[in-house]
Amino acid sequence: MSWMNEFTISEEVHAALNEHRPVVALESTIISHGMPFPDNLAVAREVEHAVRSNGAVPATIAILNGKVCIGLESAALERFAQATNVMKCSRRDLPFAITQGINGATTVAATMILAEMAGIQVFATGGIGGVHRGAESTWDVSADLPEFAQTNVAVVSAGAKAILDLPKTLEYLETAGVPVIGYQTTEFPAFYSRTSGLPLTLSLNTTSEIAAFIHEKRRMNLSGGTIVANPIPAQFEITREKIEPAIEQAIAESVRAGVSGKELTPFLLKQMHSITGGNSQAANKELVLHNAKVAAQIAVDLAAIKKKHTFIAL
Ligand code: PSU
Ligand code: MN
């Protein structure tokens, strides 16, 4: 199996998976394209720490010199955070990065694929990709969305990025049969803000109920992922009224600069950073940390459910 030679699982993650201990996958596009160095490294380390201190093992996923890495050692994480030649990789790019032997950052879609291959069921990120505003003319819909229709990983996020068209994003997910579960909320969170005005039909108040949902979905052989929508903690929230003008300015800037395709999301995040004087990035960091914590708790609860069912089977 030559391909497996390109697939490296860190010792820590490998041991945890073997022993059925809780593991949380983490993506790497947010490190290479979501925040500048050295903030990106500091946040990546803090996120790993948040997973650990809530009882799970973090598995940051990235491609280093064509090798798929499930779990990055500290030095590798630092090199990756500093590298300037990293390709943003979604589903279609994975074979390219591997066969060309280059560095690749995995998006939510690509991280879901690799997590599933490695046997990791829970994944934490900031915000998922979605339907962009103006999609009726640009057709810009993130490859994250069709991924949720087919790859069975639960992704904890603070909703979809507010720079997107949230009503259309939710409609897409409904059509694709993707459960969107509000964690302690009945509204779809809007990344920087806790609310969007968009109601969710599924809402659960505890991580053990979410773990039970994930377990049951798997037992029923229902393919596709689950979105756990976890609002940013209130003390770090930027309200919709406050953030909306910055979003409109960032989008206007992207139209003026003619940015499209995979460059658009990183461009908008950078614009938001400079327009808000760093406030957007500070909020981004806090919501990722919170997602990591909740994802770890779900992974712990899921491991406990699986253990119980194994005993019953015996
Ligand atoms: N959320 C963040 N920062 C990011 C991203 C999400 O807080 O940088 C990345 C994720 O990797 C996501 C990607 O999958 O942006 C979506 O890009 P696109 O819209 O091109 O599909
Ligand atoms: Mn796109």
For the record, the structure tokens of 34 come out as 């979501």
End-to-end CA, the chain: 33
- Predicted local distance difference test score (pLDDT) of residue 3: 54
Q: Rounded to whole angstroms, how far apart are CA atoms 274 and 154?
A: 32
Does residue 39's CB lie within 6 angstroms of at least one atom of ligand 1?
Answer: no
Task: Please count the other Cβ atoms lying within 10 Å of the Cβ belonging to residue 217.
Answer: 17
Token pair 């803000």 in the structure block, residue: 193
Alpha-carbon dihedral sign for residues 110, 8, 24, 83: negative
What is the pLDDT tens value at each position of the chain, 314 positions in all? Answer: 345 566 899 999 999 999 999 999 999 999 999 999 999 999 999 999 999 999 999 999 999 999 999 999 999 999 999 999 999 999 999 999 999 999 999 999 999 999 999 999 999 999 999 999 999 999 999 999 999 999 999 999 999 888 899 999 999 999 999 999 999 999 999 999 999 999 999 999 999 999 999 999 999 999 999 999 999 999 999 999 999 999 999 999 999 999 999 999 999 999 999 999 999 999 999 999 999 999 999 999 999 999 888 766 55
CATH number, position 168: 3.40.1790.10
Q: Which domain holds residue 203?
A: 3-313
Nearest-atom number in ligand 1 for the CA of 125 is 1
- Predicted local distance difference test score (pLDDT) of residue 6: 66
Question: Of these residues, 88, 116, 161, 237, which one is catalytic?
Answer: 161
Does residue 29's CB lie within 6 angstroms of at least one atom of ligand 1?
Answer: yes
- Predicted local distance difference test score (pLDDT) of residue 237: 96
Token pair 């990120």 in the structure block, residue: 125
Alpha-carbon dihedral sign for residues 244, 248, 250, 254: positive
Helix or strand holding residue 88 (H, E): strand 87-89
161 belongs to the catalytic site: yes
- Predicted local distance difference test score (pLDDT) of residue 2: 45
For the record, the structure tokens of 169 come out as 């994003």
SS3 258: coil
**DSSP annotation string for 56-84:** -EEEEEEEETTEEEES--HHHHHHHHH-S
- 83 burial level (CB within 10 Å; 0-12, 13-18, 19+): middle
SS (H, E, C) 289-305: HHHHHHHHHHHHHHHHH
Nearest-atom number in ligand 1 for the CA of 164 is 19
Ion ligand 2: residues, CB < 5 A: 140
Does residue 111's CB lie within 6 angstroms of at least one atom of ligand 1?
Answer: no
Q: How many domains does the chain have?
A: 1
What does pTM read for this prediction?
0.96
**DSSP annotation string for 183-245:** ES-SB--BTTBS--S-B-SEEESSHHHHHHHHHHHHHTT--S-EEEE-PPPGGG---HHHHHH
